[in-house]
Homo-oligomer: A and B are copies of this chain.
Amino acid sequence: MADEAAVREQADAVRRLKQEKAEPDEIAKEVAKLLEMKAQLGDEGKAKFVLKTPKGTRDYSPKQMAIRERVFSTIVTCFKRHGAEVIDTPVFELKETLTGKYGEDSKLIYDLKDQGGELLSLRYDLTVPFARYLAMNKISTMKRYHIAKVYRRDSPATSRGRYREFYQCDFDIAGQFDPMIPDAECLKIVHEILSELQLGDFLIKVNDRRILDGMFAVCGVPDSKFRTICSSVDKLDKMPWEDVRSEMVGEKGLSPEAADRIGEYVRLHGGLDLIEQLLQDPTLSQNKLAKEGLGDMKLLFEYLTLFGITRQICFDLSLARGLDYYTGVIFEAVLVQQENEHVEEPVSVGSVAGGGRYDGLVGMFDPKGRKVPCVGVSIGIERIFSIMEQKVEASAEKIRTTETQVLVASAQKKLLEERLKLISELWDAGIKAEMLYKKNPKLLNQLQYCEDTGVPLVAIVGEQELKDGVVKLRVVATREEVDVRRENLADEIKTRTSQS
């Protein structure tokens, strides 16, 4: 295969032969080789090189990073408030680690090219790697958070904050505990984070896989179709019931009667009252799984009442969540657009957090099938970030992308060495300092740089100041200037920038 370097080398060879006045047909032969290489390269490079990031991905500019760091900080603070440790895992896993964990979504997994080694795939979420971590290290109790990028070959809709590479912020509690206490804490965490980020009204929908499975059973769905019918129900937030119904009956071969019975249940949502009502439901309450799920749901709502957060929580029988590994409580948080609010460009965002209980996943990895019950939540940061970014754009807020406290400047020429000495002193004293990388910058340009980037102070060295052992400190906002003794300069800068 020809590459540019080889072509260059071949061109060199031709040039050398010419200089050495070699036989014409020797040169001709080498030229032919060169043309062939070029042709090959041209063929390979037929589609013109496009300067872009891969489909469904993006860069973060410094301004976007500043916003992102704020969101992360809120989330990490919350996770730490709840006593979580932190772990990290590789961006790819053995392909078989991910196999059979995601149901219909498995087709969205990115595989790496097999280069004679292991078969690898990019992680699809942080939950399966966590379960693999627990099993591999034989850990039976752990409360951890993990913030990292995950990868899904989905149809990107970047304007709505939907990417193929995106961050997940996960908090999970693993261990054998009394029922619903960790589950309630996960919902409290979602509530805290969405409240603190001030994204507007939100609603956390809650359901239970056991209630769904019980419901499918009493509606007459065969066992083997539970997962695939569950996937159809999961689409109810994006598709009307009629379309979901025809998918169930048409594509998935469910009987119309069973579908209609499901249709009756999935339109139900409410609170403790609905739970009580379903516990009395003559059909559903006969099912062991459904009864267990409803009993736990009641307990969960009691704990959520103690936390004072039930106003934003809704028991919703249409909530299914696509992933295969859930076994108990499942939940999903959505932002609610206020109808009476005058939004110029309303952002349409879906789910911003989701999670649930997965008691079987660790056992799938453990050589002895030893189970570790888990419950966790994942915050979908990209959609939140899109909203925050739009809010900042709409506001007058000016975001600084550096933390520089002072610019080391000079008013006269030939003072580069003095600026270098002073800035070195300031760095060594822990001051965040910059200078222009010019031998003789104009004072106006140095001041303009501060205006542009928000640097609050300028330390100006000049012949006279050097003689007097002082530095002129200028406050950019007020243009006030004071002479500060050089040995006090770092402290003076610290004092003056400690409020900001």
Contacts A12-B222, A175-B437, A431-B81; is A87 near B112 (CB within 8 Å)? Answer: no
Question: Given A9-B224, A80-B403, A87–B62 Cβ distance below 8 Å?
Answer: yes
Q: How far is the CB of A156 from chain B (nearest CB, A)?
A: 11
A260-287 contact mask (Cβ, 8 Å, vs B): 1 or 0: 0000000000000000000000000000
Select A62's contact among B89, B144, B427, beta carbons within 8 Å: B144
Q: Do A307 and B424 touch across chains, with their CB atoms under 8 A apart?
A: yes
For this chain, the copies found in one complex come to 2
Q: Which residues of B contact A96 (CB under 8 A)?
A: 45, 49
Residues in chain B near residue A99, CB distance under 8 A: 3
Complex Cα distance, B437 from A178, in Å, reads 6
A394 within 8 A of B: no
**Hey, what's the 0/1 contact readout for A77-90 against B, CB within 8 Å counting as 1?**
00011111111111
A433 to B58, CA, bound (A): 37
Q: Is A494's CB within 8 Å of the partner chain B? A: no
Tell me if B144 and A417 are in contact (CB < 8 A): no
Min distance, Cβ A66 to any Cβ of chain B, angstroms? 8
Instruction: Give the residue name and chain of the B residue nearest to A430 (CB).
Output: B81
With A90-B57, A306-B424: A438-B62 Cβ-Cβ less than 8 Å: no
Select A367's contact among B51, B68, B223, beta carbons within 8 Å: B51
Contact of A85 among B4, B59, B90, B401 (CB under 8 A): B401
Interface residues of A in 413-430 (CB under 8 A from B): 416-417, 420-421, 424, 427-428, 430
Over the window 130-157 of chain A, the binary record of Cβ atoms lying under 8 Å from chain B Cβ atoms (1 yes, 0 no) is 0011011100000110000101010000
Residue of B nearest to A133 (CB): B59
A69 neighbours in B (Cβ, 8 Å): 86
Query: What residues of chain B lie closer than 8 Å to A85, measured between beta carbons?
Result: 62, 65, 401-402
- A175 proximity list for chain B (CB < 8 A): 437
Q: Tell me, rounded to whole Å, the shortest Cβ–Cβ distance linking A228 to chain B.
A: 9
Chain B residues near A65 (CB-CB < 8 A): 85-88
Which residue on chain B has the smallest CB distance to residue A116? Answer: B153
Does A224 lie within 8 Å of B438, measured CB to CB? Answer: no
In whole Å, how far is A359's beta carbon from the nearest beta carbon of chain B?
14
On whether A88 and B111 interact (CB within 8 A), knowing A13-B224, A437-B178, the answer reads no
CB proximity to B under 8 Å, residues A461-476 = none
| Any B CB within 8 A of the CB of A208 | no
**Are B222 and A437 within 8 A (Cβ)?**
no
Indicate which residue in B60, B82, B118 contacts A427 across the interface (CB closer than 8 Å). B82
A293 at the interface (CB under 8 A from B): no
Pick the contact of A111: B50, B92, B115 (CB < 8 A).
B115
Among B223, B428, B438, the residue within 8 A (CB) of A12 is: B223
Q: Which parts of A288-336 form the interface with B (CB within 8 Å)?
A: 303, 306-308
Set B3, B177, B420: member contacting A306, Cβ < 8 A: B420
Complex: A407 Cα to B404 Cα, angstroms = 40
Query: A61 near B: Cβ within 8 Å?
Result: yes
Contact with B along A3-32 (1 / 0, CB 8 A): 111001100110010000000000000000
Q: How far apart sit A135 and B90, CA to CA, in the bound complex (Å)?
A: 30
A177 CB contact (under 8 Å) in B165, B308, B437? B437
Contact with B along A384-422 (1 / 0, CB 8 A): 000000000000000001111000000000001100110
Instruction: Give Cα A16 to B225, complex, Å.
Output: 13
Is A192 on the interface with B (CB-CB < 8 A)?
yes
**Interface assignment of A55: CB less than 8 Å from any CB of chain B:** yes
Minimum Cβ distance to chain B for residue A262 (Å): 19
- Report yes or no: A80 in contact with B402, Cβ–Cβ below 8 A: yes
Q: Does A33 contact B (CB under 8 A)?
A: no
Beyond the given pairs A50-B94, A90-B165, A178-B438, 11 more chain A to chain B contacts, judged by CB atoms under 8 angstroms and listed by A's residue number, are A16-B222, A52-B136, A54-B90, A61-B87, A61-B137, A83-B402, A117-B153, A178-B416, A185-B437, A306-B421, A307-B424
Sampled A-B contacts (6; CB under 8 Å): A54-B92, A59-B90, A82-B433, A85-B402, A110-B113, A181-B437
Per CB-CB distance, the 5 closest pairs between chain A and chain B, nearest first, are A177-B437, A62-B85, A12-B224, A83-B434, A57-B90
Binding site for B on A (CB under 8 A): 3-5, 8-9, 12-13, 16, 45, 49-55, 57-62, 65, 68-69, 80-94, 96, 99-100, 103, 110-115, 117-118, 120, 122, 132-133, 135-137, 143-144, 149, 151, 153, 165, 173, 175, 177-178, 181-182, 184-185, 188, 192, 222-224, 227, 303, 306-308, 365, 367, 401-404, 416-417, 420-421, 424, 427-428, 430-434, 437-439
